[in-house]
Amino acid sequence: MTSESLGNRIDPKVVWHEGSVSIENRSRLLGQSGCVVWFTGLSGSGKSTVANILDRMLLELGRPSFLLDGDNIRHGLCATPSILLPTYGAAFSERFGLGFSPEDREENIRRVGEVTCLMASAGLICLTAFVSPYRKDRDRVRRIVEQKNNLRFFEVFVDTPLDVCESRDPKGLYRQAREGKIPYFTGITDPYEAPCNPELVLLADDALRPENHAQRVLELLKSSNIVSEGSQETSFGSRSQP
């Protein structure tokens, strides 16, 4: 990213400093191009499961990657006020903590989007698993990744029907939402806006294991020259190992 590319985002008090190591330098060092693989879908659709399997597959191929998970990110970067409270106090927590209102979810995805850019710029294959229900928020991240940073963005829609997601409901969230205990719950009291033109759609199918879906995403990365066909398995072994 250059100061010119930031356009109207430039603040005269804030100057962009070009580093001595370019994105291309890091790409050559790692033998891969950094990118963002953005998994989106309803809660319980299988996003995190597939993303975790893909993360392990990439490790076994010797390809550096990192997974940002929607639940995990809510413990730190995008923590809720209740999680921040014991460490930072009430005033700070109310000011910077994020809930699940449409406005807070927008800021949640904005923060995550900026982090994905940093990771992809460092040459990592950055995987994300977020409900990210609003199309405009996902599209904004895509623009930042592609236009401002000249990196690849792959939107992967895990298209699992609401009734299937609700039947899984491992955390009982859908039940609580139906009971009116959780406001702004995607699919129940708040909409999910499906992608219009994702790079890949993973359809719910009991005949397909999550490993099959992860393999499809891996093939997409190979065909897009993010991961080379000649990548070899490392000594990390099978996914059953710790």
Residues classed as catalytic: 132
Neighbours of 212 (CB within 10 A): 13
User: In the chain, where does DSSP find H-type helix?
Assistant: 23-30, 47-60, 70-73, 81-88, 90-96, 102-121, 135-143, 162-168, 173-178, 210-223
3-state secondary structure of 183: coil
Q: Which among 33, 61, 29 is positioned nearest to 232, based on CA atoms? A: 61
The whole-angstrom separation of Cα 116 and Cα 156 is 15
**Would you give the end-to-end CA distance of the chain in angstroms?**
38
